[in-house]
Amino acid sequence: MEKEILKVLESDARLSAKQVAKITGHPEAKVARIIKKSENEGTILKYKTIINWEKFENDQVWALIEVKIAPQRDVGFDSIAEKIYLFPQTRTVYLVSGTYDLLCIVTGKTMQEVANFVSQKLAPVEGVLGTVTHFMLKRYKEDGEILTGGKEKKRQPLVL
């Protein structure tokens, strides 16, 4: 039941407990308790709005940065990842498999600002062996929402 409720909220965080109860068929009071418990325990971390900044003033440059690191004894990748995610320019950090170890999403006002971040802050972090920066030129879809195209976007059915 909890997983079902969380999936509904993940697809639309604006839904009230009453609306989630109607969708799932569970009692509203039980749904409200599960939502509150999930917030208190940190299962629900944040409610998010996806904005298509290209329809507004786009004053941010986004970049995906591949980071190759040397894991540290007893802590592996975690301590280096923490150093990186504490930078205010860093929006997201993932540990990934493949030819590099971390995938970071960073923002800046200009490409030069992002380049300066990489060369002056990220690359000098102890344990960072190399970086590859990819600047995002256009976003087509984010968190399941299509951001481009002239067609009316139809909601896909919720699969539980």
CATH architecture assigned to 56-136: 2-Layer Sandwich (3.30)
CATH architecture assigned to 2-41: Orthogonal Bundle (1.10)
Domain ranges of the chain: 2-41, 56-136
φ/ψ bin of 76: left (φ > 0), alpha (ψ from -120 to 50), beta (otherwise): left
Residue 84 pLDDT > 90 = yes
State what percent of residues in the chain have pLDDT above 70: 91
Taking only the tens place, the pLDDT of each residue in 107-138 is 999 999 999 999 999 999 999 999 999 999 98
Distance CA 129, CA 70 (A): 7
Name the most confidently modeled range: 42-56, 57-71, 104-118. 104-118
Rg over alpha carbons for the chain, rounded to the nearest Å, is 20
Q: 3-state DSSP call for residue 101? A: coil
The CA-based angle 96-4-2, given to 5 degrees, is 90
Mean pLDDT of 91-105: 96
